[in-house]
A and B are shown apart, each in its own frame.
Chain A
Amino acid sequence: QLQLQESGPGLVKPSETLSLTCSVSGGSISRSSFSWGWIRQPPGKGLEWTGTIYYRGSTYYNPSLKSRVTISVDTSRNQFSLNLNSVTATDTAVYYCARLLIAHDAFDIWGQGTMVTVSS
């Protein structure tokens, strides 16, 4: 049974870089039918797609974040990561990693989410 688990600091200072890792267990990250994505949810608000990455490295980012976001994959560790630089308080959110069914543009398996607060 595939599982995803987010990890990383829960507190980041303004102007610094938010870095999170999603560890995938119970299956390989290198399967051609899937991409891997990050979705965030500010407190009390809706879901926002951040970006997705294919195991071969091709990436797609939310245009509103594109200048600040980088998603990378490490197939040897079965992990993928999110870096968001120059953070402000508006980046405070629960960050979810999830598996994307490429043929359907649907996220079918999600991590439990990790809360990241941007504050000095």
Chain B
Amino acid sequence: SSELSQDPAVSVALGQTVRITCQGDSLRRYYGNWYQQKPGQAPVLVIYDEDNRPSEIPDRFSGSRSGDTSSLTITGAQAEDEADYYCNSRDSSGQHLVFGGGTKLTVL
């Protein structure tokens, strides 16, 4: 199992707000990043350093951290946001990178 824990599945109604979380001790010391992956496609970086968005990512995506938990929030979820979401950071040793197990987001 990964050092970063994510809920396997989350659902949200179209246009509503959803938060996806990533928990791990290393997140107290290191920043978390978030990726979106749609079926058959490579992952796309959507948030880095907890709350920074690459320029091409819509501003409905935001990030935050509290204690050992990083969160990805989608405000006004769209149908095209249905995807798997992964967090990544360093492991507890700080020497290696690690991904969370992923969260499947369903937009109802």
User: Using Cβ atoms and an 8 Å threshold, which residues of chain A touch B97?
Assistant: 37, 49, 52, 60, 105
User: Using Cβ atoms and an 8 Å threshold, which residues of chain A touch B35?
Assistant: 47, 107
Q: Is the CB of A60 within 8 A of B96?
A: yes
A63 to B42, CA, bound (A): 24
User: What's the dominant secondary structure at chain A's contact region?
Assistant: strand
Number of chain A residues whose Cβ lies closer than 8 Å to a Cβ of chain B: 22
Tell me the total A-B contact number using a CB cutoff of 8 A: 64
Q: Is the CB of B48 within 8 A of A101?
A: yes
Binds A, one of B15-23, B71-79, B87-95: B87-95
Contact with A106, one of B2, B84, B88, B96 (Cβ below 8 angstroms)? B88
User: What's the dominant secondary structure at chain B's contact region?
Assistant: strand
Q: Is the CB of A48 within 8 A of B96?
A: no
User: Using Cβ atoms and an 8 Å threshold, which residues of chain B touch A63?
Assistant: 96
A46 and B88 contact, Cβ closer than 8 Å, known pairs A106-B33, A107-B43: no
11 CB contacts below 8 A, A to B, read: A46-B2, A46-B100, A47-B99, A49-B96, A60-B96, A63-B96, A101-B48, A105-B33, A106-B33, A108-B45, A110-B42
Binding site for B on A (CB under 8 A): 37, 39, 46-49, 52, 60-63, 96, 101, 104-108, 110-113
